Amino acid sequence: VLEGDAAVRSCQVTLAAAAGRRYTTIEGLSADGASRCQAAWLDEQVSQCGYCQAGMILAVESLLRRVPRPTREQLDGALDDHLCRCGSYPRARLAARRAAGLGGEA
């Protein structure tokens, strides 16, 4: 989830610690499901089973809010801690670059 603009793990935040802070879940990221990362994820057909994708999308969204013009290395770094058991990483990297307005090869 996003805590403000920072990506945090919801299971690591207690309600007491959340008091007074603003959180955004994947469901609340956009009204139409067409935010830059969601659209890029669909364009690149990233998802396989899809279970891990909410975390990846919010991690990249968090980076883009804080660093509007990130490097490829920064984008890869945002995805660093995310495990995808299906192996969607190459497409996730492409989608992150697309969302950031960077083109190019994997």
Instruction: Write out the residues near another protein by the rule CB under 8 A.
Output: 25-27, 29, 33, 37-38, 41-42, 45, 47-54, 57, 83-86
Distance, CA of 55 to CA of 78 (rounded, Å): 10
Find where tokens 């802070």 sit. 21
Supply the minimum distance, in Å, between the C-beta of residue 45 and another protein: 6
Supply the minimum distance, in Å, between the C-beta of residue 96 and another protein: 13
Element (H, E) at 19: none
Are 97 and 37 in contact, with CB atoms under 8 Å apart? no
- 17/86 with CB nearer another protein: 86
**SS3 label, residue 59:** helix
- 15/106 with CB nearer another protein: 15
Supply the minimum distance, in Å, between the C-beta of residue 8 and another protein: 16
- 71/91 with CB nearer another protein: 91
Supply the minimum distance, in Å, between the C-beta of residue 42 and another protein: 5
Instruction: Specify which residues 23 forms β-bridges with.
Output: 3
- 58/75 with CB nearer another protein: 58
The Cβ-side half-sphere exposure at 87, using a 13 Å CA radius, reads 0
